[in-house]
Structure 1
Amino acid sequence: MRTVSLNIPDNIDINEPELKIILAGELYERERLSLGQAADLAGLSKRAFIEILGKFGFSLFSQSEEDLLSDIENA
């Protein structure tokens, strides 16, 4: 795993765990990380990550049309 160092402006009130959740949620929504990988990046269990996604404005469900059609077909 790589380590990234960021300089955050002092006027932005954010802590490291919150920043990790935001990054993990964004990468998960963009389908760059699986749910497990995103939870790991955020430092949370899958269950905890799922529970916190909505609080940060992220969706647990895929936004792709292909996934939607597959879900409808399977229903």
Structure 2
Amino acid sequence: MPDSLGMENREVAMLVASRLYEQGKLSLGQAAEVAGLTKRSFAELLGSYNVSIFNYPASDLSRDVANA
């Protein structure tokens, strides 16, 4: 990571982990591990990265509402 970005490795790890979690490529636990945090700490920080802890696709939600 170039020093010119002015980012610490921890912040980069959190950015990568939160994005992979958001895309559904990592579970909450896996993403927390990538970020070097506990699940609870990772979940609490997701909001500051504009990522919802509820990683549920809108298409699934629409289908569930229709079935209800």
Q: Which TM class, normalised by the smaller chain length?
A: 0.7 to 0.9
Task: Name the one with the larger helix percent.
Answer: 2
Query: Tell me, which stretches of 5 or more residues in structure 2 are unaligned?
Result: none
Query: Following TM superposition, by how much is the alpha carbon of 1:12 offset from its aligned partner in structure 2, in angstroms?
Result: 1.0
Percent sequence identity is 43
Count of aligned pairs between the two proteins: 68
Query: Following TM superposition, by how much is the alpha carbon of 1:64 offset from its aligned partner in structure 2, in angstroms?
Result: 0.9
Query: Tell me, which stretches of 5 or more residues in structure 1 are unaligned?
Result: 1-7
TM-score norm. by structure 2 comes to 0.80
Aligned-partner residue type, residue 25 of structure 1 = S
| CA RMSD, Structure 1 to Structure 2 (Å) | 2.2
Pair 1:29-2:14 in alignment: no
TM-score norm. by structure 1 comes to 0.73
